[in-house]
Structure 1
């Protein structure tokens, strides 16, 4: 599947004139300083959309400010995480298409028409893929995102872009098939993109330029992000294509077992047939890893079997 080829503002569809209804879901935590401005700008580009702000138990006036700005507010009684807020918004949305945005002002609403036009053109999900000109990204974050994109592309065997971007439009009926896979904290963008691609849905990309956070303080920390990045990698490997990781590891261990035997046969104890413990351990370990990966692959495949009526429609 080739990525959607677009440039900003290529759409000829007027905002509010789409062949579907739209719900904008904005997870928010302590964003009272800027949420009204975000809602106001969204209204500029798509005035007829339902705007849902999911307040994840903020300690400030996020809910009151968002409600005064005209949004429908859903408040969590306890803080459950960004992903949980997104899932709440998707479940409670009335629109046929859900547009996901953050509340911190980093996602420019001027790209909304491009994202929605991609859905109108037949894509099931359209992702706002950040360009290199995006403001506020550190070199570590950019390198990490590129590594994650490369891993994701390898796992689903097609090109993916900006797996961590939360700026996206999705057909609600499609994302509801996978909503239980989305984590309650972070990495819901990664999970949703790979889940749709794995299931055979169409995902397009629109280049967007991110902006600096408008006020407030970011909770991003280098150590925390590193741990989170590692957990995301483990999660997507387990969910989407375990055998594409476990099989190469098993093969490497087989090669190391052979090398260990050859070293023993020709160097350590020349021409005496003796299998060293290291070779035995590597060989047995490779078999265990391969069988574990094969079993995990079968379990993962069950998650992405589309219902019979969906397959017939395709």
Structure 2
């Protein structure tokens, strides 16, 4: 027996070491937006939790010291340039996490400890679950009780969870990488519903009392709307066939050519007319690059303020603002693409609250245009039928690829031959009727419409 005793000790030590070797590593992900008051507590706790190997803080465009505080605690910080939404932050976290097991915590928790972290991780680390939800006290908030639970009970009667909306959950990276993560609120709910659909082993863990930073009623109302949309979309209602919409500018959104208005106001309209005539009559000898160089010279000495003041006179087509606002509410990604220069594109992007625009650029120095242009070479293609330096078809193709959106889920809206390239690549091409609409443009479009308001019926 004396010989066996040392052997037992060796085996016991070996077993303990083996368990440590085999134990999966965990990445903790914290989506955060202006959480400088609470983020330090979260990070202190996670640093003390032995199961956590990596801490990722996704700063979703904070304007406070969230990133600096997170970095001081040794967290790996990835910062969004602007606020994209909680779902977008979680998606960034999933894409950048080193480990297979991921655990998520809100950045505004006020009473957080290692016991809660360990409780949430235990089922997935032990292999008893592949998706772990949390419930806590106070049991549910108004968004959950009034919006989420009644809808879930109606559409998913087989799924019974005390707290369907909870930012605290654990799952595997391989699972989360497969699902379509929405940008805004409701991402945790979508993850749960997708887990149910795909047959994940789900368990719910009670974390006891959990306090969040108080949020204003207006924000809760916005959360409720987004959560309701997510539930209905997941159940097959409000199904979107398209995700990305490209709008042309001149005579699609505006009633007239923006450059005409600017040139008249700044006093170079006659020169513009001559330049256009020269280019139109000598396309074989005068390249678009030469045309744009000559055009840029007409802006020399003028300022952005002067261009902006001129653009205030431009009339929009009927319902342009309302239609774009509604499409944004429906969560479509909208991009403005134009052959005009960037001061014009930027003005209308800001006016219509469109986050992204693509255009050629005017060089600027000390607030004054130099008369030179900066060409966007990445959007040039020898295959462009119109030989444009900025091919709208290439713009559509590159944007869709960068955003991981299939071309079949894109929409192009324009009114002329200059839009034909993007019409041919888009999943759905819509031409706005006008007196100058040519046969080639009509042929490359799927449908022609009289008014922008018709888009609300056609696009879903």
Q: What is the CA distance between 1:103 and its match in structure 2?
A: 0.4
> For residues 140 and 167 of structure 1, what CA distance do their matches in structure 2 show?
16
Match of residue 130, structure 2, among 124, 133, 136: 124
Bigger RCO of structures 1 and 2 (CA < 8 A, at least 6 apart): 1
CA contact (8 A) 2:133 2:205 kept: yes
Greater share of residues in helix: 1
- Once the two structures are superposed, the pairs formed by residues 156-305 of structure 1 within 5 Å of their partners are 157-178=158-179, 181-214=180-213, 218-221=215-218, 222-238=220-236
Report the equivalent of 2:156. Answer: 153
Q: What is the CA distance between 1:41 and its match in structure 2?
A: 1.3
Residue deviations 1:204-249, cap 9 Å, x none?
11012343335xx6255254244234323322222799xxxxxxxx
Q: What is the CA distance between 1:190 and its match in structure 2?
A: 1.0
> For residues 29 and 122 of structure 2, what CA distance do their matches in structure 1 show?
18
C-alpha spacing 1:219/1:51, structure 2 compared with 1 (3 Å): farther
How many residues align? The count is: 218
**Which TM-score applies when normalising by structure 2?**
0.43
Q: What is the CA distance between 1:182 and its match in structure 2?
A: 1.2
Task: Say whether residues 1:74 and 2:71 are aligned partners.
Answer: no
Report the equivalent of 2:32. Answer: 28
Residue ranges of structure 1 left out of the alignment (5+ in a row): 1-12, 242-314
SS in 2 for 1:74: strand
C-alpha spacing 1:48/1:207, structure 2 compared with 1 (3 Å): closer
Which entry has the higher C-alpha Rg, 1 or 2?
2
> For residues 200 and 58 of structure 1, what CA distance do their matches in structure 2 show?
36
SS in 1 for 2:195: helix
Q: What is the CA distance between 1:139 and its match in structure 2?
A: 4.8
Q: What is the CA distance between 1:118 and its match in structure 2?
A: 0.4
Match of residue 113, structure 1, among 113, 118, 122: 118
SS in 1 for 2:57: strand
> For residues 44 and 181 of structure 2, what CA distance do their matches in structure 1 show?
29
Q: What is the CA distance between 1:149 and its match in structure 2?
A: 4.2
Residue ranges of structure 2 left out of the alignment (5+ in a row): 1-15, 240-460
Q: What is the CA distance between 1:88 and its match in structure 2?
A: 0.3
Higher mean displacement: 198-207 or 47-56? 47-56
CA contact (8 A) 2:36 2:69 kept: yes
C-alpha spacing 1:208/1:142, structure 2 compared with 1 (3 Å): farther
SS in 1 for 2:74: coil
SS in 1 for 2:230: helix
Match of residue 93, structure 1, among 87, 94, 97: 97
Q: RMSD of the alignment, in Å?
A: 2.8
Q: Which runs of 4+ in 1 moved over 6 A?
A: none
**Which TM-score applies when normalising by structure 1?**
0.62
CA contact (8 A) 1:115 1:206 kept: yes
Report the equivalent of 1:51. Answer: 55
